[in-house]
Every structure is written in structure tokens, then in C-alpha cells.
């Protein structure tokens, strides 16, 4: 299968931007650049990150591209090249999402690729190489994305300072209802912010707001104090709360796969930050503080908060 797929893929990417040497040799060659290169890699496994029979292979390709691009957005980098690896089940599968058609391994490979091409076109990225394998296991896809650092350097997790605002983009929680398959990496927003504002630190929200905030302030050797009432809650989180019996804010704090940005922005910059940028809401939900740990402020009271959510009984 691999040789005919490579020939097809090479043709398919010919309208995208091109590296010096792309698909079809032992390795790709990327043109020299005087910028630092930024590199991330992420895999998705059938049954853990997606249900192939429910979502279809094209959505797998979209999610793979989206989650990887989101990591580069969190560095304020500009993606240039994608590399894709797919381990495909030998046997054809039934696809619920596209009638009752059987999906052969090569059909699955093509559909995954088409999902990736959608993101490559949207963000002006080359698909520069990859690898396909047939095996007996379920579907696994991996991607490495390479980008260029912005002028002045990348955002890191380690730069937050006590007093900085804890800022989140968009609305959080309930991504399992669909948004986790339609990731909107905040590339454009990050580039605008990087050019116009002094952002001290950033990460993307992949494991959940609480857990990712913990990662960020731990890397910055400080803590954070947030107000639960300020967290922007998505409609999906509210909808999910009805069936889960948990609070919507709990989903916004604890659910993963939002792929929004979490930023540390100094007070002076907050004054001139608009409420929206590139059509994405920017919300301050609290402050980084010198005391380590995650805290919630509720009126005059401050209490410790579990990063994974489950805020029942602690919010009053």
C-alpha cells in the first residue's frame, strides 16, 4: 500500500506550500532560516482520543492537526511543516458516520490525510513527510509539527510573575460533546498577541484548565488565585452538566481538550488588552501569586482548589 499512497500524497500536497525536498525521499529538507525552529509531537490512539466508527477517519486527521498546531500556538510560533505517521489496521472497518461503507486501510489513510490537508490549507503549512504502516492493532496516528519562533522569542511556561493576570481564551469545558474533534488552534490570535502585547508565559489547555494552570505556575515557581465565577463557561459545559449532575464550572475547570490558551499577562498590558482579539474572547480569571498552589477567591475567602475540578461544596 505504501508506494501508491506516497505517490498519491505527493500529488495531493503539490498545491500546498512546499519544502526544499518533500514527500518521497528518505527525509524531507526544509529551507534554511535564521529563526529558531519550534517542534512539537503528539499521537492519537483509537479508543482513547477518538472512536473511529463514530467520528470517521477525516475527523481523526483534523484532530491530529489541530492538537499539534495548538502546541505551536502556545509558543507563539508560526507552523511551517507537518510530518504524519499512521499505523493502520489491516482489516477494513465499518464506518457509521459515512453510511455502511467498509473502509479499507488505504481509504482510511486518504481520509485522515484529507482531514490534515484542511488544516494545512487553513494555516498555510506544508505536509512535508510521513510514514504509513499496516498492523493488527487499532488505529494510531502521530504528528510532528515544525514552526518558526517569533521575533523576540517564544512564549514559555516559565515566565509568569506574581501579580500577572491569569487569562484564558474562548470558553471552556464540555469539549467531549464535539469540540475536541474540531480543534481551533489559536495560531492567529497568538501571533497578534505576540506582536502587540507583552505576554509573560503561555500554555494551551489540553489536560484541563486546573491541571494546565498547575503546570504553568509550577514551571514559573509561583501559584495562582482564581475566581470560579469569572471562568468563561461554554454552552457545551452547561449542557453536559445537566446529564453529569456536576456543576458547569466543574466541567470548565476539569475537562480536557479545550485547546484554548492560558496566558500570564502583566497588569500594565491588561489595561489595553481588548475583550476580544481575532474574534476570540480574552478573560482574566484571577492572578498569579507568590504563594505556591492553586487557590480560589470567593468574596473575602481564599481556599485551596483541586486542579482536577470537583468544586462541589467548596464554592460557597
Closer by beta carbon to its own copies, 73 or else 228 = 73
The minimum distance between CB 297 and its own copies, in angstroms, equals: 26
Q: Give the max Cα distance, the chain.
A: 66
The minimum distance between CB 57 and its own copies, in angstroms, equals: 16
Strands 293-298 and 223-226: parallel
Closest CA to 213 of 269, 153, 172, 271: 172
Closer by beta carbon to its own copies, 144 or else 247 = 144
Asked if 224 contacts 285 with a C-beta cutoff of 8 angstroms, the reply is no
Q: Is 203 exposed, middle or buried (0-12, 13-18, 19+ CB in 10 A)?
A: buried
Q: Which stretch binds its own copies (CB under 8 A): 125-133, 173-181, 237-245, 278-286?
A: 125-133
Neighbours of 198 (CB within 10 A): 11
Q: Residue count at the site for its own copies (CB under 8 A)?
A: 62
Q: Which of residues 127-186 bind its own copies (CB under 8 A)?
A: 128-131, 133-138, 140, 142, 144, 146-147, 149, 154, 156-158
Asked if 113 contacts 103 with a C-beta cutoff of 8 angstroms, the reply is no
- C-alpha cell at position 67: 492538537
> Distance (Å, rounded) from C-alpha 116 to C-alpha 15?
14
The answer to the question of residue 187 lying near its own copies (CB under 8 A) is: no
The minimum distance between CB 128 and its own copies, in angstroms, equals: 7
The minimum distance between CB 118 and its own copies, in angstroms, equals: 21
Residue ranges that bind its own copies, judged by CB under 8 A: 20-21, 24-43, 45-49, 71-72, 74-75, 77, 81, 83-87, 128-131, 133-138, 140, 142, 144, 146-147, 149, 154, 156-158, 202-204, 219
Amino acid at each position: 500500500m505504501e508506494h501508491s499512497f506516497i505517490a498519491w500524497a505527493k500529488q495531493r500536497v503539490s498545491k500546498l506550500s512546499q519544502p526544499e525536498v518533500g514527500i518521497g525521499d528518505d527525509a524531507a529538507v526544509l529551507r534554511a532560516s535564521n529563526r529558531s525552529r519550534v517542534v512539537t509531537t503528539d499521537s492519537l490512539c483509537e479508543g482513547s482520543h477518538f472512536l473511529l466508527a463514530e467520528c470517521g477517519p477525516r475527523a481523526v486527521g483534523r484532530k491530529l492537526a489541530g492538537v499539534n498546531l495548538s502546541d505551536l500556538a502556545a509558543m507563539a510560533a508560526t507552523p511551517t511543516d507537518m510530518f504524519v505517521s499512521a499505523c493502520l489496521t489491516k482489516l477494513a472497518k465499518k464506518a457509521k458516520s459515512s453510511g455502511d461503507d467498509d473502509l479499507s486501510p488505504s481509504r482510511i489513510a486518504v481520509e485522515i490525510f484529507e482531514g490534515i490537508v484542511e488544516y494545512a490549507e487553513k494555516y498555510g503549512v506544508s505536509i512535508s513527510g510521513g510514514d504509513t504502516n499496516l498492523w493488527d492493532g487499532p488505529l494510531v496516528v502521530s504528528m510532528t509539527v515544525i514552526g518558526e519562533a517569533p521575533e523576540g522569542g517564544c512564549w514559555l511556561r516559565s515566565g509568569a510573575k506574581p501579580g500577572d493576570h491569569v487569562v484564558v481564551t474562548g470558553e471552556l469545558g464540555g469539549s467531549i460533546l464535539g469540540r475536541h474533534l474540531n480543534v481551533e488552534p489559536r495560531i492567529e490570535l497568538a501571533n497578534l498577541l505576540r506582536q502587540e502585547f507583552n505576554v509573560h508565559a503561555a500554555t494551551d489547555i489540553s489536560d484541563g484548565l486546573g491541571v494546565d494552570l498547575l503546570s504553568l505556575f509550577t514551571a514559573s515557581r509561583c501559584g495562582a488565585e482564581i475566581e470560579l465565577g469569572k471562568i468563561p463557561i461554554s454552552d457545551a459545559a452547561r449542557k453536559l452538566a445537566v446529564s453529569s449532575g456536576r456543576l458547569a464550572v466543574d466541567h470548565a475547570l476539569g475537562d480536557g481538550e479545550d485547546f484554548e490558551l492560558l496566558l500570564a499577562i502583566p497588569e500594565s498590558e491588561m489595561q489595553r488588552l481588548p475583550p476580544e482579539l481575532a474574534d476570540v474572547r480574552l478573560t482574566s480569571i484571577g492572578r498569579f501569586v507568590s504563594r505556591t498552589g492553586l487557590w480560589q477567591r470567593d468574596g473575602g475567602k481564599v481556599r485551596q482548589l483541586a486542579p482536577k475540578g470537583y468544586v462541589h461544596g467548596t464554592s460557597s
